[in-house]
Amino acid sequence: MDRVGSSYPQRVSGEVHVIIGPMFAGKTTSLLRRIKSEVNNGRNVAMIKSSKDTRYATDSVVTHDGAKFPCWALPDLMSFRQKLGEDAYEKLDVIGIDEAQFFEDLYDFCCKAADHDGKTVIVSGLDGDYLRRSFGSVLDIIPLADTVTKLTARCEVCGKKAFFTFRKTEETKTELIGGADVYMPVCRQHYVNGLTVVEATKTLLESIKLHHHAQSSCLEAAASVLE
């Protein structure tokens, strides 16, 4: 689009696209696919991910199956413009954001980038945590979005469509970064069954006061029964 020759003094208007779903649903893969197609269309692109997630690499977004794209690993989004530099930000057409649930300033950033700066923002993140509650600010930006795509994974127990992320360990903090060692995608039935098994195991363990090691191996045993 030729902005210089446009009869409008305003730049082109921005867009917000949101990709949500449980873990292992291919959200990052889908984000990378869209970003690469923007690059192929000659658009100027930057990717941002949270500096909280250091599982694979700090300078690139990596999918569970190993695809890569260079990125900025940042603690927040508002610092991005300054880090990138005014000139580079000005030239930018598309901003990809991965693991968006970790960014508290997601709403303000998307608003500013799309409404005022004319950027296309493509956001990928978890809609829900392991307790199926809203995770971070991801759901807050749905009213800002042009499109919303909810992806599904495969239930690790039965192979049907999985909508939820089940945590296999006893850890209860919301932000626990991990892969297949900690989480598994499950369908509704196996999410509910899993909770029942974990609850029953906990009650049993508390009553016989086993030490911590035995607790975790027992929970693992419970998880493997489900599988």
In the complex, the residues that contact Zn ion under the rule CB under 5 A are 155, 157-158, 187, 190
Exposure b/e, 132-158, CB count within 10 A at least 16 = b: eeebbbbbebeebbeeeeebbbebbbe
The answer to whether the CB of 72 falls within 8 A of the CB of 49 is yes
Q: Closer to Zn ion at the Cβ: 18 or 186?
A: 186
Minimum distance from residue 155 beta carbon to Zn ion (Å): 3
Q: Does 99 qualify as catalytic in the annotation?
A: yes
Q: Closer to Zn ion at the Cβ: 131 or 177?
A: 131
Minimum distance from residue 125 beta carbon to Zn ion (Å): 23
Farthest-apart Cα atoms in the chain, separation: 77
Minimum distance from residue 164 beta carbon to Zn ion (Å): 10
Q: Closer to Zn ion at the Cβ: 100 or 157?
A: 157
Pairing of strands 60-62, 68-70: antiparallel
**Annotated binding-site residue? 130:** no
State the residue number with the nearest CB to Zn ion: 155
Which of 171, 159, 163 is CA-nearest to residue 202? 171
Q: Closer to Zn ion at the Cβ: 93 or 156?
A: 156
Which listed residue (38, 86, 90, 99) is catalytic?
A: 99
Q: How far is CA 202 from CA 37, 161, 167, 185, 208, in A?
A: 48, 28, 14, 22, 10
The answer to whether the CB of 99 falls within 8 A of the CB of 49 is yes
The answer to whether the CB of 138 falls within 8 A of the CB of 123 is yes
Minimum distance from residue 22 beta carbon to Zn ion (Å): 12
SS3 77: coil
* Residues annotated as catalytic (active site), given as ranges: 99
Q: Residue ranges for the binding site for substrate?
A: 183
Q: Which residues fall in the annotated binding site?
A: 183
